[in-house]
Amino acid sequence: MTQEPHASGRSWSTWASFVVVFFVAAAALLGFVVLPIVQGQSAGLSAFAAICRSLGLQAGSPAARQPSSETAAQPVSMVAWTPQVIERLHHPNAERGKDIAGSICASCHGENGVSLGPQFPHMSGQSAFAIYKQLHDFKNGARVNEIMAAIVQDLDDEQMADVAAHFSALTKGALDPRTISSGDPDIVRLVEYGNSARGIPSCASCHGAHAGGPIETPTLAGQRQEYLLAQLDAFASGTRHNDIFNRMRGIAAKLQPGEMEKLAEYYSAVRLFRSQD
């Protein structure tokens, strides 16, 4: 009779342990299996993938070799707007800029910055900052063009700033208010207001006169239509990738081909006027 309380206590302890284990197992099953599967189904995950994620693992064996990309790394724009660069663009060596432009640029871009073929952009009146950035990108490979890459390899930063300032000074590029509202109404709205439903900002928010966009924003007014269309296509496809923060690639990818054509036509028709100051 002295052993009955001991046996009774051991029986109670066994049942208590069983209850604890049962609830722990039920909680683990609920937390790591049932709930992940239910939530995973709404997210389009398989049961196995959902359970693996709940455990902090990727689906499949953690020891399995992960897929790797064979895509080559692409150079990015390395232009830096240092006080020295900005000062040089504002106070260039005008004679040297003119000499460089005449000796190596004029054959494609014209002596006065008006290009000789549709595949070459006009330089006259272009933003000095935009020209400098593109020259810099051609040199470091962020923008790919065999002809331009070969031309700029022997130019240092000061020479690139000089030639950029030379072309910029030929004509002060700005939008002529008398022509800004002409063209296809849908395209004018895209230029002036963008399309928020499609995540497209207005072109004028960066490229408009005195818009206050990024310092390297180019002037589009009066540019060659063929060149503008080619660049929009290149940004949309990703073959041109020297836009900082993926700005133009993201925008161009949302444009329809017809919109690209009409935007190129619109900006090529906008006149430039010569500043009187």
Please state at what angle helix 157-170 crosses helix 128-140, rounded to 10 degrees: 140
Distance CA 74, CA 14 (A): 66
Q: What percent of the chain has pLDDT above 70?
A: 75
pLDDT of the residue at 178: 43
The pLDDT score that the predictor gives to residue 24 is 74
| Model confidence, pTM | 0.72
On whether the CB atoms of residues 135 and 181 are closer than 8 A, the answer is no
Topology of the domain covering 185-269: Cytochrome Bc1 Complex; Chain D, domain 2 (1.10.760)
Instruction: Write down the pLDDT at residue 17.
Output: 74
Q: How far apart are CA 252 and CA 237, in angstroms?
A: 9
Q: How many C-alpha atoms does 152 have within 13 Å on its Cβ side?
A: 26
Q: How far apart are CA 245 and CA 77, in angstroms?
A: 10
Left, alpha or beta for 195 (phi > 0: left; psi -120 to 50: alpha)?
beta
Task: Give every residue of the chain whose pLDDT is below 70, as ranges.
Answer: 1-10, 12, 30-45, 50-51, 53-69, 71, 172-182, 271-277
Q: Name the CATH superfamily for 83-170.
A: Cytochrome c-like domain (1.10.760.10)
pLDDT at 174: 42
Rounded to whole angstroms, how far apart are CA atoms 273 and 140?
Answer: 34
Q: 197 — phi, psi (to 5°)?
A: -65, -30
Distance CA 152, CA 64 (A): 47
